[in-house]
Amino acid sequence: MRPTLRQNLASLRPIRGLLLSVAVARSSVLLFPFYGAYLTITKHGLPPAGIGLIIGAFGVGALLADIVVSQLARHLSKRTVAVVGLFGVAATVVVVPAISGIWPLALLTAVWGFCYELVNPLSYTLVARAMPESARRFAFAAVRLAVNAGMGIGPVLAGVLFKIEPGLLVWGTAIGFLVAAGILARVHLGHGPPGAESVGETTEGASPVGAEWRFWSFFTAILPVHVAYALPPTVISVYVIQKLGHPPIWVSAVFAVNALMVISLEISINHLMNHWRRRSTLLVGYACAVVGFGLMGFGATPWMLIVATAFWTFGEMIVFPAMLDHVAAISPAALKARNIGFYGAGVNIGVLVAPLAFLPIAAKTDAVSVWALVAGTVALGMAGVAALSTHRRLWTRDPVAVPVGAEG
């Protein structure tokens, strides 16, 4: 018998402290959304290119963190590394007002990005360790909900503080991350019931060679979807305002629809699909993404942007928890932190590649063609996932999830 939504929510008890810490930390991301404006106001003489370099250094630090996080987790507990990352953000941002010059600020911002990103893969690793396979995908959706709720609160609060006094963004960020670190340091994190790890993790996943092939083939197959989903936050304003000539309110409408849907529907959707095989879940999510990104090319009719956003948001809510669930399923315990860290690196690769590839193409072709190319790229990734799922050596077990408490 499938669990009710209340039972699925109750299954999150082992990670509720982690969820609270993530929500507080993301609600405290106050300085970064206004970092360019803050630097312009407080660091007189910095050229626009220099400010862009400083902000871009954040992504470089984040990508480095994704690559080395598993090595750090070998020497310290995963919770300790995450807490150090939260403390590191607080310690770094309070130094920003005292630093001047492009390169010192770029280096400091890279350290900030490094500390910030440490928390993300380790949060998902802690979830994978604490939750049984049957509840893992739902738990990943809950973490994403905590992230998105926080990211909805943070920029609104930041806008208020920036209007009062830009310097308050620094202290608000530091205090919030200190609180989040304190919460995570003190909470008890469950380790899941005995036998919680899947068969794929304990038998097939135990082969180092097999585990490597499974992960890297899947990593390659999902890169197209990472690139596609990096486009809305990086280029949507340029596309809507400059390419289509719509007023900025339509950019806000796209982000508002995406945020509202994620906050209100992601838990429900993943509850309804929690018993689906990972293959079926991923293919449905990819299909929604293909339709959504394809429809973005017809945004000359403004309301079509909203319809398109609804489709690719459905895809986002379905495919991202399922991708994390699959990475956890194909990773033996010794490789979980590393593989989830590299998964996060794939997300950041998408953020770096997406605007570099999209903007030059968009400048030389029409909107329908460029978004058809994006949809085709996602479809290519969908075909890759479909092909992998037919090979047991590359996919491992993919059973219908057994409801929590129904085993035996």
Alpha carbon distance 227, 353 (integer Å): 7
* CB-based contact 381:225 (threshold 8 Å): yes
Judge whether residue 199 has pLDDT over 50: no
User: Which of 142-151, 197-206, 245-254, 288-297 has the lowest average pLDDT?
Assistant: 197-206
Confidence band of 1 (pLDDT split at 50, 70, 90): low
> For 82-93, what is the mean pLDDT?
95
What is the C-alpha to C-alpha distance for residues 341 and 343, in angstroms, rounded to an integer? 5
Q: Specify the pTM.
A: 0.74
- The first and second tokens of residue 300, run together, are 């000359």
pLDDT in tens, 274-317: 888 888 999 999 999 999 999 999 999 999 999 999 999 999 99
Q: Supply the pLDDT for residue 304.
A: 95
Q: Burial, 128: exposed, middle or buried (Cβ in 10 Å; 0-12, 13-18, 19+)? A: buried
pLDDT value of residue 297: 94
* DSSP string for 64-114: HHHHHHHHHHHHS-HHHHHHHHHHHHHHHHTTGGG--SHHHHHHHHHHHHH
**Domains plus CATH for the chain?**
5-186 (1.20.1250.20), 200-395 (1.20.1250.20)
CB within 8 Å of 342: residues ≥ 6 apart: 66, 67, 215, 219
The pLDDT tens digits of the residues spanning 246-263 come to 887 888 788 888 888 988
pLDDT tens-digit readout, 331-373: 887 788 788 888 888 888 887 788 778 888 888 899 999 999 9
DSSP state for residue 205 in the 8-state scheme: G
Residue percentage of the chain with pLDDT more than 70 = 91
Phi-psi region of 400 (alpha: psi -120 to 50; beta: other; left: phi over 0): beta
